[in-house]
């Protein structure tokens, strides 16, 4: 997954996805792409940094956004042929 090849991100979104910080808060208005940023960051951590899904925490404020995040992440794990990551997606302690 290259920086901006799969999804077109703004510069600010790209900065958030590729930030080297251990933790990150994404705060923006409705429809600004927060879910996309969280999904892309999650994918970078899991697929490029090899951090197990059980060690990644992504929090959103609605069940709808959380379900969408899980669905998008699972689709990308499937496309990357990583069923092991899909199996662990919902197994956070």
All residues at 6 or more sequence positions from 33 whose CB lies less than 8 Å from its CB, including other chains: 9, 10, 13
Tens of pLDDT, residue by residue over 16-64, are 888 887 777 888 878 888 889 899 999 999 999 999 998 888 888 888 8
Tens of pLDDT, residue by residue over 40-52, are 999 999 999 999 9
pTM for the whole structure: 0.81
Distances (CA, A) of 22 to 7, 32, 81: 23, 23, 26
């Amino acid at each position: 997954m290259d920086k901006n090849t799969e999804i077109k991100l703004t510069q600010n979104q790209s900065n958030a996805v590729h930030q080297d910080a251990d933790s990150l808060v994404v705060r923006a208005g409705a429809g600004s792409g927060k879910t996309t940023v969280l999904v892309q960051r999650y994918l970078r951590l899991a697929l490029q940094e090899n951090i197990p899904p059980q060690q990644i925490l992504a929090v959103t404020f609605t069940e709808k956004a959380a379900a969408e995040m899980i669905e998008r992440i699972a689709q990308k794990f499937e496309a990357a042929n990583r069923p092991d990551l899909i199996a662990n997606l919902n197994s956070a302690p």
